[in-house]
Amino acid sequence: TISTQSNYLGYFLTKTISLVLTATKYKPFISLTADELVFGYDDTLVSLAHRFYPRNRRPMSQMGLLNGRNGTLTEYATMHTGHTGMEKFGYFDKLNGLDHMPQWEKEPCSSIEASEGSFFPPREVTNSDVVYIYDKDLCRSLPLVYRHPVEKDGEGYFFAG
């Protein structure tokens, strides 16, 4: 946000932004649809920031809670492809060159034995089945427990955390 980055902008640029906000009668609160809030909307302050911020500090082109998050990882990941066996297909082998999460002291938190969410090993699903997905924001794997079968254009399985 402008307030967090203002320490790096310098006095002149900070005062200029303050004058522009005052002159344009920019409001701190606006009405949005849920879609705009989650997926992004055009904002005059963000447009202004794109003109003045250095390229490496510019925000996304729109404001939105999930803007810029398309489910891909920015980390380097080595995945099990099923070439040597399907029991770990789709699970991480290494994440950023590590076979564990160094932020956590012990398992299960430090384990990277998880999927990024798109692929899982084939299995006979049982009532006690658990799959693991990696959550980037928490820097850890999360268990999803089998709940019940579902029918949607074919047979599927419902897992929940």
Percent of the chain with pLDDT over 70: 86
Q: Are 77 and 61 a contacting pair, CB within 8 Å?
A: no
Average pLDDT for residues 22-27, to the nearest whole number?
Answer: 80
Pick the more confident residue, 57 or 80: 80
Residues in the chain: 161
pLDDT tens, position by position, 63-122: 777 666 666 656 788 999 989 999 889 899 998 899 999 888 888 888 999 988 888 888
Pick the more confident residue, 84 or 58: 84
Question: 38: pLDDT confidence band, cut at 50, 70 and 90?
Answer: confident
pLDDT, residue 14, reads 80
pLDDT, residue 135, reads 84
Full-model pTM: 0.55
Between the CA atoms of 103, 109, 110 and 116, what dihedral angle is there, to the nearest 10 degrees? Answer: -100
- The residues with which 155 forms a beta bridge, in sequence order, are 151
- Mean pLDDT in the chain? 81
pLDDT, residue 1, reads 52
Distance CA 125, CA 9 (A): 56
Cβ density class 51-77: b for 16+ within 10 Å, e for less:
eebeeeeebeeebbeebeeeeeeeeee
pLDDT, residue 34, reads 85
